[in-house]
Amino acid sequence: MRIIAIVSGRVISGHELAHNPEWIELSVSFTTDVFKAAGKLKFFPSFLRPIVQHFLPEMKRIKRAYATSHRLVDPVLKVRSEAAQWPGYVKPNDFVQWIADRMASEGLGYDQANMQLSFGLASIHTTAMTAVQIVYELAARPNEYEMLREDITEALRGSEGGSIDKHALARMKKLDSFMKEVQRLHPLSHGMLSALKIPFVQFYSNHSNIVAWLRRITAPVTLSDVHFPTDTLVAIPARPRAINSTNWPNSTAFDALRFYRMRERSAADAHLHQFTSIPSDANMFPFGYGKHACPGRFFASQEIKVLLIYLILNYDLRVPSEGTRSHERPVDFEIGLAIVPDPKILIEFKERTNL
């Protein structure tokens, strides 16, 4: 999570905070505390939660986090505001500045310090877990390295100076396919539901909207001859659809080039089976669905790809042997609706010498 906090922080929090150890720790701990607090509060009736929250250590840390965020973020904004008066000053190209300029142009008041914590909450947790799942798969599949290295190297040859830019990342179709196949077999939830276009429905989140997207029916509705009364909770079984043999050949087997081949079928398919794609057939829901699909999925994809490029080109990875298990992929934890990579697994890294 620290690596993702640093990478995402460079764009979201700006260069002043991205490598600040206190800010990195704050971003990670705030995210963890929010979901722990939400998980605990859900066990209490809604009318008791305003009282119970005062007894949770996570809630106390969350309140302190807001104060710390102001202490770290406000000076950055002040320095930038003063520097903007200097002749020849070039504004930083990051989210901090985009928000500041937008709010100033519209004459709106805002709390950038609190917003930064919220942005970190949305950008760190799911991205980190997805990246870990992909790294675990890499470590268990050394036979795929050569193919991925060739894909990355060929894509970088087309960039000026071999640099990593968005066009080079888009050309890494085999790496993208590998990532999406991991996402298919190891999603963040059994029941990820996005904003489907169902009438009379409002957004509802139970323990955490990171691990489950649900809908609460706000007025009676009948869909496909099934009647849903008011206050019914509905969800879609995302993982069962993602491993259904009707939807996918050899559905339970990992196929690194599954989506690469699908993209190669036709010009129309080329854009339908990317890591960030929202499929029209609704067989996968990693980023939601419809107009409420995750807008940050493109940024998350690029973050993860940059991380993977560095690892794949510079290291060989391996899952350590444990007892009778010989370098097997770590087994996921299943907690309620959530599917979580085992956080206790250690991955062996060996630096490549024949670069």
Show Cβ contacts of residue 299 under 8 Å, excluding neighbours closer than 6 positions. Answer: 8, 11, 123
| pLDDT, tens digit, 9 for 90 and up, residues 41-61 | 989 999 999 999 999 999 999
Report the pLDDT value the prediction gives residue 334, as an integer from 0 to 100. 74
Show Cβ contacts of residue 157 under 8 Å, excluding neighbours closer than 6 positions. Answer: none
DSSP per-residue string spanning 89-127? -----SHHHHHHHHHHHHT----HHHHHHHHHHHHHHHH
Which is higher by pLDDT, 38 or 204?
38
Q: Please compute the mean of the pLDDT values over residues 200-215 and round it to a whole number.
A: 41
Report the pLDDT value the prediction gives residue 243, as an integer from 0 to 100. 80
Q: How confident is the model at residue 326 (pLDDT cuts 50, 70, 90)?
A: low
Tell me: pLDDT of 206 over 70: no
| pLDDT, tens digit, 9 for 90 and up, residues 157-178 | 988 888 899 999 999 999 999 9
Which is higher by pLDDT, 194 or 61?
61
Low-confidence winner among 46-55, 245-254, 280-289 (lowest mean pLDDT)? 280-289
DSSP state of 320: P
- Residue 233 pairs in a beta bridge with 216
- Cβ pair 215, 200 in contact under 8 A: no
Edge-to-edge strand list for the sheet holding 214-217: 201-204, 214-217, 233-234
